[in-house]
Structure 1
Amino acid sequence: MFDDRTDAGERLAAELERRDLDIDVVLGIPRGALPVARPVADALAADLDVVVARKLGAPGNPELALGAVASDGSVWYNDDLITRIDVSEKYLEEVRAEEADNAREKAARYRETEGLPELEGKRVAVVDDGVATGATATACLRQVQESGAEWVGLAVPVGSPRAIDELERETDEVIAVQTPADFRAVGQYYRNFGQVTDEEAIAYLDRDG
């Protein structure tokens, strides 16, 4: 159990240090990952920035992830779910286009440009506050993988064992402090898991170590 996202970030940073990983850039997934990513970046003396993706919600159930799209258009689809609930190609294209626009707009709120910082030849850790389905993390990882980074890892305080296993195929290494067998939701592993506003998240980016 983590006290809050900052506590989770400090414990995640300790795990990364224990593994002696050399990280140049930490990318938090807004909004909730920024309080986690800040102590990670500070501990590793790495630059902190963001990578943005938006969930593709199912018809009538926007919290059910059909996939996710990153700000550069990188997309991941949950093909099994799409087939099971019989989602049309027309709906998928409409929601993909809408959420890609939203992702670009969100990225622009966090930095002057919509794209990623320069990552060519760098070692990059993508950080989130936890992984349930892995949809947004997958889209973010695919965007970072296309950036020319030398090494790309995913670091989270807690995650579903199934999602973590699937994400290992998307990246060089997945680091998770906890992968409980009875995982149900990220928030159950935090005593304080309140919403993070864009303004609060941006403040973590602006703060110098």
Structure 2
Amino acid sequence: MTPGFANRTDAAHQLAVRLHHLRQAPRGVVLAVPRGGVPLGAIVAKALGWPLEVVLAKKIGHPAHPEYAVGAVSLESVVLTPGLVLPAGYLAEQVARIRQRLQQRHRAYVGNRPPLVLTGRTVVLVDDGVATGHTLLATVELVRQQSPARVVVAVPVSSLQALGRLQAAADEVVCLLAPPNFQAVGQFYQDFTQVTDEEVVAVLHAAEHPPA
């Protein structure tokens, strides 16, 4: 039987236990990667007593090999892999297209509320799992542009290759499983039902307006 998690809630509670040492970190914030990372991020944020934010970023794929990341875009910035030669106008076109989609998702998730400033904060990036790691690696770079005090990546499961890359990029990586037989993130969840945009909005609203 493949070891793993019953569902995202189970994975999040296990992850929160492993992150308990961060509770005393000053000015912490949990950044959840939509959509699957948001339910986990909410549980982790509540356990740490930190605010929950979504981090909206998307990789820029190579024109000949879309799965290969040549950079990434967020609402505020762009990071690029140095030394690449790409067709004229390709990057500008991709950045504009991706940023338009990110702006639409930001409005859907949090309305007009501006993103939290990360300068000087301890940032925990949460996702429900990592396969290639390209997008999460680029997200780490984008977050670092805001000069946080520390960047911690927290995931329930990762491929060994992605884990090594993340450990080189982040200040700390908390990963519960890095199995050699990794094929896909969903392989390690009994229930890996897709998270909808409506669920993301509901989770974010509940985190921002907890019951009295």
Pick closer, same or farther for the CA change 1:58–1:66 going to 2, 3 Å: same
Find out whether 1:47 has 2:46 as its counterpart: no
Q: Provide the residue aligned with 1:71 in structure 2.
A: 75
Q: Provide the residue aligned with 2:10 in structure 1.
A: 7
Query: What are the superposed Cα offsets for residues 135-176 of structure 1, whole Å, 9 maximum, x if unpaired?
Result: 221222122212231111110000111111111222211111
Aligned partner of residue 6 in structure 2, secondary structure: coil
Query: What are the superposed Cα offsets for residues 44-97 of structure 1, whole Å, 9 maximum, x if unpaired?
Result: 1111111111243465986x3435322223335598xx89xxx74544543333
Pick closer, same or farther for the CA change 1:31–1:190 going to 2, 3 Å: same
What is the rounded CA distance, in whole Å, between the counterparts of 1:44 and 1:78 in structure 2? 37
Q: Provide the residue aligned with 2:159 in structure 1.
A: 160
1:163-178 correspondence runs (5 A)? 163-178=162-177
Unmatched tracts of structure 1, length 5 or more:
none
Unmatched tracts of structure 2, length 5 or more:
none
Query: What are the superposed Cα offsets for residues 1-57 of structure 1, whole Å, 9 maximum, x if unpaired?
Result: 11111111111111112xx12351101011110111111111111111111112434
What is the rounded CA distance, in whole Å, between the counterparts of 1:100 and 1:182 in structure 2? 35
What is the rounded CA distance, in whole Å, between the counterparts of 1:15 and 1:117 in structure 2? 25
What is the rounded CA distance, in whole Å, between the counterparts of 2:130 and 2:89 in structure 1? 28
Pick closer, same or farther for the CA change 1:188–1:40 going to 2, 3 Å: same
What is the rounded CA distance, in whole Å, between the counterparts of 2:58 and 2:189 in structure 1? 23
Query: What are the superposed Cα offsets for residues 111-147 of structure 1, whole Å, 9 maximum, x if unpaired?
Result: 2458630222211101011111112212221222122
Q: Provide the residue aligned with 1:185 in structure 2.
A: 184
* Paired positions, count: 201
Find out whether 1:25 has 2:29 as its counterpart: yes
Instruction: Give 1:104 shift.
Output: 2.9
Structure 2: which amino acid aligns with 1:134?
G
Pick closer, same or farther for the CA change 1:161–1:114 going to 2, 3 Å: farther
Pick closer, same or farther for the CA change 1:77–1:203 going to 2, 3 Å: farther
Structure 2: which amino acid aligns with 1:104?
Q
Query: In the alignment, is the contact (CA less than 8 A) between 1:141 and 1:171 conserved in 2?
Result: yes
Query: In the alignment, is the contact (CA less than 8 A) between 2:31 and 2:53 conserved in 1?
Result: yes
Pick closer, same or farther for the CA change 1:164–1:194 going to 2, 3 Å: same
Query: In the alignment, is the contact (CA less than 8 A) between 2:109 and 2:201 conserved in 1?
Result: yes
Find out whether 1:36 has 2:37 as its counterpart: no
Provide the TM-score with structure 2 as the length reference: 0.83
Pick closer, same or farther for the CA change 1:92–1:188 going to 2, 3 Å: farther
Provide the TM-score with structure 1 as the length reference: 0.84
1:76-91 correspondence runs (5 A)? 76-77=80-81, 88=87, 90-91=89-90
